[in-house]
Amino acid sequence: MAATTVTLSFLSLHTATTSTPTTRLSLLKSTTKLHPFSFSLSPKSPFLSLLSSHPKIITTITKANSSDIDTSFFDNVNPEEEVVFDPPTPPEDYIPPPSFDEGPLETEEEIAAAYEELYGPAYSGVSVLGKDIYVMDSKVKKTSGWSSRSKKEKIKDGFDERVVQVRRVTKVVKGGKQLHFRAVVIVGDKQGQVGVGVGKAKEVIAAVQKSAIDARRNIITVPMTKYLTFPHRSEGDFGAAKVMLRPASPGTGVIAGGAVRIVLEMAGVENALGKQLRSKNALNNARATVVAVQKMRQFSDVARDRGIPMEELWK
Amino acid sequence: MIRRYWNINLKEMLETGVHFGHATRKWNPKMAPYISAKRKGIHITNLTRTARFLSEACDLVFDAASRKKQFLIVGTKKKAADPVTRAAIRARCHYVNKKWLGGLLTNWSTTEMRLQKFRDLRMEQKTGGINRLPKGDAARLKRELFHLQTYLGGIKYMTGLPDIVIIVDQQEEYMALRECITLGIPTICLIDTNCDPDLTDISIPANDDAIASIRLILNKLVFAICEGRSSYIRNP
């Protein structure tokens, strides 16, 4: 039974949501430690520090809250070097503790009591210390993102959403055609953060919501100058779509078509020129602009990395 | 982070066989800096590095425990399942010792629904509600409870995502590692000569086949967690 997809394209819809001030969670700031060993801080790039410093927004997506665990020791370890193992001397009355296997087996009650002290009764169903067993219910109802309040469920965290394209896609099965809607949504505050997301569902609204959540997961920052334009030209491609972006003098406005224009507008860029060069597919062009924007660097960053004053870059 | 003494001595590690690696042809070239020799067709890891990394990992874990962070220990190998349970219970951490269900962390909202079901079933079992149902339904519920107990038994006290995840064998728990990477959770992993040290935040090159070596390393980490917790209790 072969399954084929048939698409019918619809006109793009425009929706807008209200914006409120955002709260950002800042991740790890590495603290300095005193090492008794000298490690050469070679310019080798650190381990892809997952606790990297671009701010992430939390909506209904659960994200890890490991903001102050300092793993910076392992970022600068150069494995080629000679590592010296020189532990601090033990205190005088040091007795090595028993292994976890030895020693008497704790009773279930003791274990349950200890866990409950630390974490509360959570999902265990028993409460040795007399706490409320259903404590997690109230917390879960608040944070569940798939709740059925679809009518007034608008995630208020300062991001505007705009639907670029809603298409009805079909999967042909033995019994007939199965219809789904695929929505491409671009999410952004007008201050340099944008995200592109796709979502598919059997209803248009559900698809739009899914794509909004997906868009909030992949947000990038657009480097902008003080005249709200790009620092330099760039090209980006994704799939068969290629997009060229060019800065413009103030007063020009955003001169670009379709998906590219929406991405730039939601990012807050005021003056830019953009052209879709190869394919005209909306989703791929939106992703290609994101790629193009990620390739851009601010002049100050380049000057700092190269170690020369900024004036040299303009010669 | 201050450095403390963790009773890591190289002699003990040699006795338990921490330095043995896997067969030579199964190695991962990224592990080259951590391998010191090749003997009888097996790679031998450099124990000074292991000791150093282990002590740093213990420091980190101690620090995190003293700040009341949540830990998760993952070990699904048959050999490692038992030590992992005992270690986690001793350290009062969450653990996964049977199969790691895909999406346990990334699809946390669905996992929470399963945990709620688990709790409701436990309540019913305690109050004896199951005995009032007909035999077929009762048997079905008991089976479901048994399954939930095996897979989710270790995380039933988990209220949110953990802050640090300790993984016992990287090849075996690759899915768990991938989930932690997408979520940005720091991981500590026991790396053998066929594993990739760049994937985790903290890698401890050690032998993951021998029960004794897993026990040794878990011992140190668990001790560090206990110390951290007690220091938190002493001065929060």
Q: What is the pLDDT of residues A91-129, one digit of tens each?
A: 666 666 666 666 667 777 777 777 777 777 777 766 766
Q: Per the domain annotation, does B16 fall within a domain?
A: no
Which run of H or E residues covers position A7?
strand A5-9
Rounded Cα distance between B60 and B188, Å, is 10
Residues B170 and B59 in one domain: yes
Q: Per the domain annotation, does B192 fall within a domain?
A: yes
Query: pLDDT truncated to tens, each residue of chain B (236 aa)?
Result: 566 677 777 788 888 888 888 878 888 888 888 888 888 888 888 888 888 888 888 888 888 888 888 888 888 888 888 888 888 888 888 888 888 888 888 888 888 888 888 888 888 888 877 778 888 888 888 898 889 888 888 888 888 888 889 888 888 888 888 988 888 888 888 888 888 888 888 888 888 888 888 888 888 888 888 888 888 877 76
Residues B224 and B145 in one domain: no
pLDDT at A47 > cutoff 50:
no
Q: Which stretches of A52-170 are DSSP H helices?
A: 108-119, 135-143
Residue of A nearest to B230 (CA): A118
CA dihedral B19, B22, B24, B26 (to 10 degrees): -140
A8 vs B: CB within 8 A: no
**pLDDT value at position A70?**
60
Range of the domain at B81: 21-105+163-234
User: Using a CB-CB distance cutoff of 8 angstroms, which residues of chain B are in contact with residue A42?
Assistant: none
Distance (Å) from the C-alpha of residue B63 to the closest C-alpha of chain A? 8
A98 vs B: CB within 8 A: no
Rounded Cα distance between B232 and B236, Å, is 5
Q: Per the domain annotation, does B10 fall within a domain?
A: no
Rounded Cα distance between A135 and A117, Å, is 14
Q: Per the domain annotation, does B5 fall within a domain?
A: no
Sign, CA torsion B124/B125/B130/B136: positive
User: Which residues make Cβ contacts (< 8 Å) with residue A10, sequence separation at least 6?
Assistant: A165, A166, A167, A168
Render pLDDT for A243-273 as a digit per residue (tens, 0 to 9).
999 999 999 889 998 889 999 999 998 899 9
Residues B167 and B76 in one domain: yes
- Comparison of pLDDT for A10 and A108, the residue scoring more: A108
Q: Which of B229, B103, B83, B225 is nearest to B161 (CA)?
A: B103
Domain A223-306 belongs to what architecture?
Answer: 2-Layer Sandwich (3.30)
What is the arithmetic mean of pLDDT over A145-164? Answer: 66
Residues B47 and B119 in one domain: no
Question: Among B86, B118, B153, which residue terminates a domain?
Answer: B153
User: How many CB atoms are located within 10 Å of the residue A277 CB?
Assistant: 13
Which run of H or E residues covers position B178?
helix B174-183
User: Using a CB-CB distance cutoff of 8 angstroms, which residues of chain B are in contact with residue A51?
Assistant: 184, 186
**pLDDT value at position A23?**
36
Residues B41 and B81 in one domain: yes
Inter-chain CB proximity A145 and B49 less than 8 Å: no
Q: What is the ipTM of this complex?
A: 0.73
Residue of B nearest to A108 (CA): B89
B198 vs A: CB within 8 A: yes
**pLDDT value at position A180?**
94
- pLDDT band of A138, cuts 50, 70, 90: low
Do residues A236 and A288 make contact, with C-beta atoms less than 8 angstroms apart?
yes
Residues B36 and B70 in one domain: yes
Inter-chain CB proximity B159 and A120 less than 8 Å: yes
The encoded tokens of residue A223 equal 């480097």
A125 vs B: CB within 8 A: yes
Residues B129 and B172 in one domain: no
Do residues A171 and A3 make contact, with C-beta atoms less than 8 angstroms apart?
yes
Domain chopping of chain A, boundaries: 1-14+34-64, 113-148, 160-220, 223-306
A169 sits in the region (left: phi over 0; alpha: psi -120 to 50; else beta) called: beta
Inter-chain CB proximity A124 and B52 less than 8 Å: no
Which run of H or E residues covers position B22?
strand B20-23
Residues B76 and B117 in one domain: no
Inter-chain CB proximity B164 and A65 less than 8 Å: no
Q: Which stretches of A230-281 are DSSP H helices?
A: 258-267
Q: Per the domain annotation, does B3 fall within a domain?
A: no
Task: Output the pTM of the full model.
Answer: 0.73
Q: Which of B29, B25, B28 is nearest to B41 (CA)?
A: B25
Residues B145 and B177 in one domain: no
Distances (CA, A) of A204 to A6, A150, A201, A211, B139: 17, 12, 7, 11, 42
Residues B77 and B188 in one domain: yes
B91 vs A: CB within 8 A: yes
Distance (Å) from the C-alpha of residue B230 to the closest C-alpha of chain A? 12
CATH code (residue B48): 3.40.50.10490
* CATH number at A160-220: 3.30.160.20
Residue A50 has its nearest CB partner, among B123, B157, B181, at B181
Q: Per the domain annotation, does B35 fall within a domain?
A: yes
For every residue of A141-197, DSSP letters joined together read HHH-TT-S--SS----SS-EEEEEEEEEEEEEETTEEEEEEEEEEEEEETTTEEEEE
Which amino acid, residue B31?
A: M
Residues B94 and B181 in one domain: yes
**pLDDT value at position A103?**
66
Q: Per the domain annotation, does B175 fall within a domain?
A: yes
**pLDDT value at position A273?**
93
B116 vs A: CB within 8 A: yes
**pLDDT value at position A41?**
37
The encoded tokens of residue B122 equal 């436990």
Do residues A245 and A272 make contact, with C-beta atoms less than 8 angstroms apart?
yes
What is the arithmetic mean of pLDDT over A70-98? Answer: 61
Render pLDDT for A206-217 as a digit per residue (tens, 0 to 9).
999 999 989 988
Residues B98 and B34 in one domain: yes
- SS3 state at A273: strand
Do residues A216 and A188 make contact, with C-beta atoms less than 8 angstroms apart?
no
A64 vs B: CB within 8 A: yes
pLDDT at A40 > cutoff 50:
no
**pLDDT value at position A53?**
38
Distance (Å) from the C-alpha of residue A48 to the closest C-alpha of chain B? 8
User: How many A×B Cβ pairs under 8 Å?
Assistant: 162
∠A170-A176-A180 over CA atoms, to 5°? 25
∠A298-A299-A303 over CA atoms, to 5°? 120
